[in-house]
Amino acid sequence: MQRLKGQAALVTGSSSGIGAAVAKSLAAEGAKVVVNYARSPKGAEAVVAEIKAKGGEAIAVQADVSKEDQVLNLFEQMYEAYETIDILVNNAGLQKDSAFTDMTLADWNTVIGVNLTGQFLCAREAAKTFIRRGVVPERSCAAGKIICMSSVHEVIPWAGHCNYAASKGGVMLLMKSMAQELAPHKIRVNSIGPGAIKTPINRDAWETPEAEASLLTLIPYNRVGDPVDIGKAAVWLASDESDYVNGATLFVDGGMTLYPGFATGG
Ligand code: BGC
């Protein structure tokens, strides 16, 4: 039994990494998926091809989620293809790291623009449709589900990454405020807080055995995460199995948020 049968899902930034895994996991559960990308048509087409090869439905649509006109066009294209939206996964995100005093305004604005403003713009468009259409009982008990891709850095401060940590802290209260405001419309809004997951965004942190060993000192469960770990969590949060979960961040991090430094000290 497919848990998301017939539902239309948009996964932003799904041409690689966590987004690609989430798109494939949702499709495997029967969702029709819009694979959004900003700069990598090849990656997005590969995700679409993989989904189709397994009997699923997907299309690739280009849009930079930090730009309002591009987001509006993304939703138009989604509605042309699938008529509606049931699931939004606000996944698109990036890092532009630097020491705080070297951080340029441009890098600050790019990170806040994609990671935070992009989530606002996409969630606003999805919520409008959820409210207008309401619950379709054959598909889900909820009128719509929004899943924000946050990070352990919505709670863990991160030197050298002030723009990124600020964007994820912002996502936390954006998510909770939306959840509070939209709940009466039967819309559920939750976040996933991934820890260190093996993707291109943090290649330096796991690529060599030395880097991986150092990273593992921050992960009590003693393995680096796989994008599929996040795909499984996204399916659960999008499905009716989590129908009473609203306004929560589900950390999928092997215990990174458990203050591992205190395992032997304190
Ligand atoms: C960042 C990764 C980092 C992980 C754990 C994520 O949000 O994008 O670069 O490895 O958090 O620190």
170 lines ligand 1 (CB under 6 A): no
Pocket test of ligand 1: the residue of 197, 252, 256 to mutate, having most ligand atoms within 8 Å of its CB, is: 197
Does the residue 2 lie in any domain?
Answer: no
The overall pTM is greater than 0.95:
yes
The tens digit of pLDDT for each residue in 146-187 reads 999 999 999 999 999 999 999 999 999 999 999 999 999 999
Does the residue 155 lie in any domain?
Answer: yes
The tens digit of pLDDT for each residue in 191-222 reads 999 999 999 999 999 999 999 999 999 999 99
Structurally, the chain folds into a number of domains equal to 1
Look at strands 249-252 and 57-62 and give their pairing: unpaired
Task: Extract the tokens encoding 20.
Answer: 């690609």
CATH number of the domain where residue 178 is located: 3.40.50.720
The residues annotated with a catalytic role in the active site are 164
Measure the CA angle with vertex 35, ends 33 and 125; round to 5°.
Answer: 80
Does the residue 209 lie in any domain?
Answer: no
Hey, what amino acid is at 176? Answer: K
Does the residue 108 lie in any domain?
Answer: yes
Does the residue 206 lie in any domain?
Answer: no
* Residue 187, C-beta contacts closer than 8 angstroms, at least 6 positions apart: 127, 130, 131, 142, 143, 144, 145, 146
**Which residue's C-alpha comes closest to atom 9 of ligand 1?**
202
Does the residue 260 lie in any domain?
Answer: no
- Print the domain residue range for 140: 8-199+226-253
145 lines ligand 1 (CB under 6 A): no
59 lines ligand 1 (CB under 6 A): no
Q: What's residue 266's pLDDT?
A: 84
The tens digit of pLDDT for each residue in 39-84 reads 999 999 999 999 999 999 999 999 999 999 999 999 999 999 999 9
SS (H, E, C) 222-265: CCCECHHHHHHHHHHHHCHHHCCCCCCEEEECCCHHHCHHHCCC
The answer to whether the beta carbons of residues 47 and 58 sit under 8 Å apart is yes
Does the residue 140 lie in any domain?
Answer: yes
Mean pLDDT of 113-134: 99
Does the residue 218 lie in any domain?
Answer: no
